[in-house]
């Protein structure tokens, strides 16, 4: 069974002012995130703007981040709506030395449940990497049903699920369907308390770019069964989490990192930077928090 750890961050991809991938900054960010308390990172996922990256850019990101974090986990976002392309990229990522693959429910072409099963089965059988499935109905039209997950969990190297439906009935269903040892991660920071309380394993986070230390304390408290401590941390962090999703991810978290002194550039089109009014609104929330030490600029409320 794979051991990726309970707190993983879906890492953003830094860009230079002219829009090129900033590989040096990516390596620096990866190390900082692990030093701040993350067990590992998802690289070139949705938060990493994977659909806008070339294959060469993705492979170089896997290499530089893995070198930067040492024994921490690098999980490559290699799935898309094309099974053959997903197999190819997963194999190439494996050659780069990553520790696992994240495979999203295919978007746009909307396959039925049997199509989802065959898609994920084909990718898993083409690699020795442990695979985490990614259910995100808000960005893909099809929900990965619990009955399909149960079938897929019988495949040896399909070891976990990133569950980002945001629906309690789905949380209940997948936790009930998953076999012992299957790793169910919350795919939304706002759902971590609920999903882990039901038996989930951890979180694949966005807000842990900023507050990995506090998020780790919450996750560890939940793992110990100390729900009141976890509840207090959850409620404290919730306004920040909500602010990071006022606009499509990763627009707000990129703006937050820039505001806090860690310059990572703007998103690639078709995503855009926050406008001035949105940045002012975000800044007002950021002023309420203390952030991980690598963020040099701690905003102070006026």
Residue 114 CB coordination number (10 Å): 10
Of residues 25, 58, 162, 254, which has the active-site annotation? 162
Of residues 62, 134, 185, 201, which has the active-site annotation? 134
Supply 74's token pair.
Answer: 């690098």
Residue 128 CB coordination number (10 Å): 9
Is 167 an active-site residue?
A: no
Alpha helices by DSSP H, listed for the chain, are 23-35, 55-69, 83-95, 113-125, 146-152, 168-177, 192-197, 208-224, 227-243, 251-259, 276-286
Is 201 an active-site residue?
A: no
φ and ψ at residue 9, rounded to 5 degrees: -110, 135
> Quick check: helix, strand or coil at residue 52?
helix
Residues found in the chain: 302
107 sits in the region (left: phi over 0; alpha: psi -120 to 50; else beta) called beta
Nearest alpha-carbon partner for 292 in 229, 234, 213 = 213
- CB of 120 closer than 8 Å to CB of 131: yes
Q: Which residues contact 225 (CB under 8 A, 6 or more apart)?
A: none
Query: Catalytic residue positions?
Result: 134, 162
């Amino acid at each position: 069974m794979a051991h990726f750890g309970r707190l993983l961050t879906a890492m953003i991809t830094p860009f230079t002012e002219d829009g090129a991938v900033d590989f040096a900054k990516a390596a620096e960010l990866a190390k900082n995130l692990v030093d701040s308390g993350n067990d590992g990172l998802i690289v070139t996922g949705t938060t990493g703007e994977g659909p806008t990256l070339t294959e060469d850019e993705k492979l170089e990101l896997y290499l530089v981040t893995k070198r930067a974090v040492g024994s921490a986990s690098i999980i490559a976002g290699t799935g898309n709506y094309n099974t053959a392309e997903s197999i190819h990229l997963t194999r190439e990522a494996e050659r780069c030395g990553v520790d696992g693959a994240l495979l999203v429910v295919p978007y746009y072409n909307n396959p039925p449940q049997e199509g989802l099963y065959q898609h994920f089965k084909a990718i898993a059988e083409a690699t020795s990497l442990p695979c985490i499935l990614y259910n995100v109905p808000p960005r893909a039209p099809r929900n990965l049903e619990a009955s399909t997950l149960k079938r897929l969990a019988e495949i040896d190297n399909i070891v976990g699920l990133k569950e980002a439906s945001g629906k309690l009935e789905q949380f209940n269903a997948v936790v009930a369907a998953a076999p012992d040892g299957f790793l169910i991660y919350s795919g939304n920071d706002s759902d971590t308390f609920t999903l882990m309380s039901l038996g989930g394993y951890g979180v694949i986070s966005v807000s842990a770019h900023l507050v990995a230390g506090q998020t780790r304390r919450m996750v560890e408290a939940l793992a110990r069964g100390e729900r009141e401590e976890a509840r207090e941390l959850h409620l404290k962090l919730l306004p920040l989490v909500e602010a990071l999703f006022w606009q499509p991810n990763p627009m707000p978290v990129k703006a937050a990192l820039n505001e806090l002194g860690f310059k990572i550039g703007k998103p690639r089109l078709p995503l855009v930077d926050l406008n001035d009014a949105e940045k002012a609104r975000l800044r007002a929330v950021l002023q309420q928090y203390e952030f991980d030490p690598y963020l040099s600029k701690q905003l102070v409320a006026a």
